[in-house]
């Protein structure tokens, strides 16, 4: 490596550390947004899904934008016991974003249960800090749960809690839906 290469490498390293000339975050080629929520600094948290070219193998997608460019983007790992998932809601509390992830246990809707998890991400970097199953402790038996798209169904109620509201159906009585309300303590256990 000659002196010119070393000087160029050093200048790129300095530019990278100073925030100049850094490449912008990108989104997966195949993605769809489900919801947008305002967060600190005039930014927006956007949630949805990332899939393969065939629209299969869906995983939750979370990204932050300033309205002009993408600050960061994270594709979430599938929650335990799920074969596909989608990120449907986002809220901020302190320096963390909390994302509701609704995951399906089977890709065939007639065989699937929808389970819910909350993911905690660093609001600045998008790094996943924790993921926790949303337990409907009062429900007995196999069920499938869902949360409507309205932001009021996933909200910070105190600096230490998020409230999740929605409906569930028992798999042995799919024609009757029931309301639920669950409180999730934050920050999540790591």
Q: What is the pLDDT along the chain (190 residues), one digit of tens a residue?
A: 444 333 333 333 333 333 333 456 899 999 999 999 999 999 999 999 999 998 889 999 999 999 999 999 999 999 999 999 999 999 999 999 999 999 999 988 888 999 999 999 999 999 999 999 999 999 998 999 999 999 999 999 999 999 999 999 998 998 999 999 999 999 998 7
134 found inside a domain: yes
Task: Give me the CATH number covering residue 109.
Answer: 2.120.10.10
Q: How far apart are CA 130 and CA 70, in angstroms?
A: 23
14 found inside a domain: no
CA atoms within 13 A of residue 95's CA, in its CB half-sphere: 5
**Are the C-beta atoms of 106 and 172 separated by less than 8 Å?**
no
Q: How far apart are CA 148 and CA 156, in angstroms?
A: 16
What is the pTM for the complete model shown? 0.86
Give the chain's domain count.
1
5 found inside a domain: no
Per the structure, the complete domain to which residue 60 belongs is given by 24-185
131 found inside a domain: yes
6 found inside a domain: no
């Amino acid at each position: 490596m000659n002196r010119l290469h070393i000087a160029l490498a050093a200048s790129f390293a300095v530019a990278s550390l100073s925030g100049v000339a850094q490449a912008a975050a990108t989104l997966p080629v195949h993605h769809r947004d489900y919801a947008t929520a305002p967060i600190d600094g005039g930014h927006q948290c956007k949630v949805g899904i990332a899939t393969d070219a065939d629209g299969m193998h869906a995983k939750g997608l979370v990204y932050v934008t300033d309205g002009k460019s993408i600050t960061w983007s994270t594709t979430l790992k599938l929650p335990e016991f799920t074969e596909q998932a989608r990120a449907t809601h986002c809220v901020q509390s302190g320096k963390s974003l909390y994302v509701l992830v609704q995951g399906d246990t089977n890709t065939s809707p007639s065989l699937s249960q929808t389970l819910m998890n909350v993911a905690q991400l660093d609001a600045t970097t998008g790094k996943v800090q924790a993921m926790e199953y949303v337990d409907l402790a009062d429900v007995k038996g196999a069920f499938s749960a869902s949360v409507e798209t309205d932001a009021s169904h996933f909200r910070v109620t105190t600096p230490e809690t998020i409230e999740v509201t929605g409906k569930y159906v028992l798999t042995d009585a799919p024609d009757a839906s029931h309301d639920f309300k669950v409180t999730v303590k934050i920050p999540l256990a790591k």
